[in-house]
Amino acid sequence: MDQDQSIPVNHDDFIHDIAYNFYGSRLATCGSDRCIKIWDWNRQTGLWILNESIGAHDSSIVRLSWAHPEFGQVLASCSLDCTVRIWVEQETNMKNSSMRWRGLMPLGDSKAAVHSIAFAPEYSSLSIATGSSDGKVRLYSPTDPVRLSNWTVNCMIDFVPGGATDADGPLCVSWCKSRFSSPHMLVVGGSKHKNVKIYQLLSNVFVELLELAQYDSHVLDIDWAPTMGRSYHLIATACADGHIRIYKFWSDPSLAKTHLSDSLFVYDGDSDDNKDDANMKALDTSRHPDDASASSDEASDDTDDSEDSVDDEDSEDSISADDDDDDNDGTDSDPDRSSSASGGGLYASDPDRRGRQRGRPSAPRSELASDIAVQPSVPIRRIRWNSSGTLLVSSSDDGVVRMWRMTASGTWREVAA
């Protein structure tokens, strides 16, 4: 699978989306011919074999999404016919028999085209979020998780109060994939106001956490990157003005104080010169252990002398401290200062941390990490992160697929096209 291959998908019109399953062993394609085609990868031949061709909707199919395999082989599709459909594989039926994939009842709650769908992460229950041009995000889940039947709307986000239409542009959704940060977070962007917001699902109600940005052009796609050990989240947006914007987001701002750089093993503030000096010292010590031992003995003697002087100073300080205690009657007029001094360490001057210790939650925050202007300036239709959140792939109206990677200096550059 590491070689370039051309798959004769044989769609009769434009292809709007492709989607790999969790393992990358199955591929689904859809297009304006109203068909979904599902392909299986053959390990022996290294070729993609057609599993089924499904006449799925009454209009163009614009997006596909696979559920996590622990829920079975479940595929969702959305279309300009204002519906969402769920497809479940029937493994007892023959491939290419038109009965291999069973379609459930269409979900037709939207009054406008549905442009975006995304299954919730596997740590959550089986559910799917849909974004439609009427300005609403709906969260569906089945009442029967075994047969996957009777999907109903659990909750809804009124992203555009007063509603919107197809002319106002698409509405895009993407889930946070991390189970270790604040759970059940969803980013929504696009439609009439051309803004991006982050929500969190709490007790079957979506609560707005933060407005990430507001643009002068339509938001055409959005994707939340896997965290993979970072102290922050990365969210990328694709816009009609030809720009890709990447944001850093902290659900807990205190994590931004950890001084972790974009590398998991390099600390901010450690210059290359300091690292080289430390490496040279370690190398000299390994080459001349006798000198290192002698230096250690000298340091020990200096420490003994300093301890004697410290003891004398401590005795004087204790007398002074007793006098101060008598003047203050054993009380401290500034408890914050005393707790900060006694705590010390990395979070000594972090007001967010002290606020959490007193029971006040910290407010999420974000910052623009990069604004990439794609040349030539054409609308960016799709963006996707890789499984580690280190590589971003985009496709645009000029028919070019580009790959972007962050450099050591923190800037993003094109590495392939």
Q: What is the pLDDT of residues 338-378, one digit of tens each?
A: 333 333 333 334 444 444 444 445 788 999 999 999 999 99
pLDDT given for residue 401 in this prediction: 94
What percent of the chain is modeled with pLDDT above 70? 73
Residues 6+ positions from 88 with CB-CB distance below 8 Å: 72, 73, 74, 101, 102, 104, 148
Q: Is the pLDDT of residue 306 over 70?
A: no
Tokens linked to 220: 């055409």
| pLDDT the model gives residue 175 | 96
The pLDDT assigned to 255 comes to 59
With beta carbons less than 8 A apart as the criterion, state whether 223 and 208 touch: no
Judged against a pLDDT cut of 90, whether residue 62 lies above it is answered with yes
| Mean pLDDT taken over the chain | 80
- Is a pLDDT exceeding 70 seen at residue 331? no
Is the model more confident about 293 or about 408?
408
Q: Which residue would you say has higher pLDDT here, 37 or 96?
A: 37
- 111: tokens are 């009054």
Query: What's the whole-number mean pLDDT along residues 147-169?
Result: 91
**pLDDT score of 359:** 45
Rounded to whole angstroms, the Cα distance separating 265 from 251 reads 22
- H/E element holding 78? strand 74-79
- Does residue 26 surpass a pLDDT of 60? yes
Q: Are 340 and 354 in contact (CB under 8 A)?
A: yes
The mean pLDDT value for 175-202 works out to: 90
Mean pLDDT of all residues in 286-305: 48
Q: What is the spatial distance between Cα 365 and Cα 250, in angstroms, rounded to a whole number?
A: 6
Of 88-92, 156-160, 270-274, 380-384, give the lowest mean pLDDT range. Answer: 270-274
- Name the pLDDT band for 329 (thresholds 50, 70, 90): very low
Q: Which strand (E) or helix (H) includes residue 277?
A: helix 272-287
Q: Are 101 and 54 in contact (CB under 8 A)?
A: yes
Q: Would you call 253 exposed, middle or buried from its count of C-beta atoms within 10 A (0-12, 13-18, 19+)? A: middle
Contact 332, 338 (CB under 8 A): yes
φ/ψ of 363, rounded to 5, equals -85, 135
CB burial of 202-216 (b: ≥16 within 10 Å; e: otherwise) equals eeeebeebbebbebe
Which has the closest alpha carbon to 33: 76, 6, 62, 8? Answer: 62
Model-level pTM? 0.74
Alpha carbon 283 to its chain's center: 41
Q: pLDDT of 97-119, one tens digit each?
A: 889 999 998 999 999 999 999 99
Distance CA 216, CA 164 (A): 17
**Residue 257: what pLDDT?**
53
pLDDT band at 183 (very low <50, low <70, confident <90, very high): confident
Stronger pLDDT, 237 or 347, i.e. the higher one: 237
Entry field: residues in the chain:
417
Burial class (CB in 10 A: 0-12, 13-18, 19+), 39: buried
Residue 395, classified by CB atoms within 10 Å of its CB into exposed (0-12), middle (13-18) or buried (19+), is: middle
Count CA atoms closer than 13 A to 372's CA, side-chain side.
26
Under a CB-based contact definition with an 8 Å cutoff, are residues 292 and 385 in contact? no
Question: Which pLDDT score, from 0 to 100, does residue 247 have?
Answer: 96
Q: Between the CA of residue 360 and those of 63, 258, 351, 354, 357, what are the distances in Å?
A: 41, 20, 11, 9, 7
Look at residues 71, 19, 51 and name the one whose alpha carbon lies nearest to residue 223: 19
Model confidence at 180, in pLDDT bands (50, 70, 90)?
confident
Dist CA 116 CA 69 (whole Å): 21
Nearest Cα to Cα of residue 7 among 34, 58, 42: 42
Q: Per-residue pLDDT tens for 245-290?
A: 999 999 877 655 544 444 443 333 444 444 444 444 444 544 444 5
- Cα separation, 78 vs 68, whole angstroms: 18
Q: What is the pLDDT of residue 297?
A: 52
Q: How many helices (H) and strands (E) does the chain have?
A: 4, 24
Look at residue 52 and tell me whether its pLDDT is greater than 80.
yes
What pLDDT, on a 0 to 100 scale, did the predictor assign at position 252?
78
Looking at 288-328, list the stretches that DSSP marks H as alpha helix, in order from N- to C-terminal side.
289-328
Determine the pLDDT at residue 411: 86
Which tokens go with 36? 């979904």
Beta strands 233-239; 243-250: pairing state:
antiparallel
Lowest-pLDDT choice from 9-13, 125-129, 307-311: 307-311
Q: Predicted confidence band at 37 (pLDDT cuts at 50, 70, 90)?
A: very high
Higher pLDDT among residues 272 and 196, named by residue: 196
Q: Evaluate if residue 16 carries a pLDDT over 80.
A: yes
User: What percent of the chain lies above the pLDDT cut of 90?
Assistant: 54
